Structure 1
Amino acid sequence: MEIKQKTGLGRWVTGACLALGITVYAQGVAAQDNSGRMAKGPIVIDLLEGLEWMRCSVGQVWSGGACRGTVLKAPLEAADDVILRASRSSGDGWRLPTRKELTRLAEMNDAPPMINETHFPGTYRGSYWTSNRNRLLWGNHWVVNFNTGHAYARALPRQPLAFRLVRDR
């Protein structure tokens, strides 16, 4: 996916706490659940898909067993800067998930957010960017909404939405 950076992009991330800081590691590893995922400090390892997820949304920091801080919501053009900052603080390989990858995190709970809150505490109850464009409406992108648990292909790149990053294991 290619995202063009434009001037003024820093304004979306300057005020946000992007210490994606995988700085505080919990001791040990949580038990694996039936999804094939296990939590290890600020990371959730998906053993079946061979992925590592950031437990916290971009803008939050893993501390004391929880995601603290405010979720950054920014237009899609901020993705390159978000990924660069994540790489600097947490190592290389971070990227936007595909629609398929992010949709796998959605769970039908009794109430939002529609995600495993043990693995992903403090998840924003709204839409998260994916790396997929809508093939029929070229200007729109796919997002996954954790208020409903569904994916939608009608997000415009200028909309301020949340980010959750993933990398291959």
Structure 2
Amino acid sequence: MPKFKLTGAIAALAVLGACATATPYQAALDGDRGYSEMKIEDNRFQVEFSGNSLTDRKTVETYLLYRAAELTRLNGYDHFRVVRRDTDSESRLVPVGGGSPYYDHFHLNYRYFGPYAAYYHDPFRRSRYSAFGPYDAYWGGPREYRERTSYVASAEILMGKGEKPADAAYFDAEQVVFNLSSNIMRPELK
């Protein structure tokens, strides 16, 4: 029996460990985090990379640039120009410590459980949600909050063939892939 408990505990830790990592460089499937693109014209694409709250802004922007270079090469072009670029952030407060958000410290109302149960009912007892909101410190709710921020970087790119122009807005796709490939964290294969 202890062997089954240990196996279950290891499986639970593996699942939690998988959730506690930054977003790897992967395609975004069904609204998940990762890269996505949309073709606007034959040589123009809208590219986006969305990271979770453990993926910092620099990584999200690096993955976006890498995807733009990779997409340029996949379509048979040599260089690309960033026409428009933007990075959005979404911040939210997450409760830390205190009570569980799933247990609201309700009291059992005994008047519904038989003729003598009304004796135990306290009509002056207030619900925890009535006066102070769902996370009242008096009832054991969280006393601290942590800010979690996730980033989404997007760019519109224009691809071209031949030698790269001398403008700083142009990138050589081959060099970008070569130089950034050591910074790319790919998903683990199972």
TM range (shorter): under 0.3
Q: Which has the higher contact order (CA 8 A, sep 6+)?
A: 2
User: When you count helix as a share of all residues, which structure comes out higher?
Assistant: 2
Q: Which has the larger radius of gyration?
A: 2
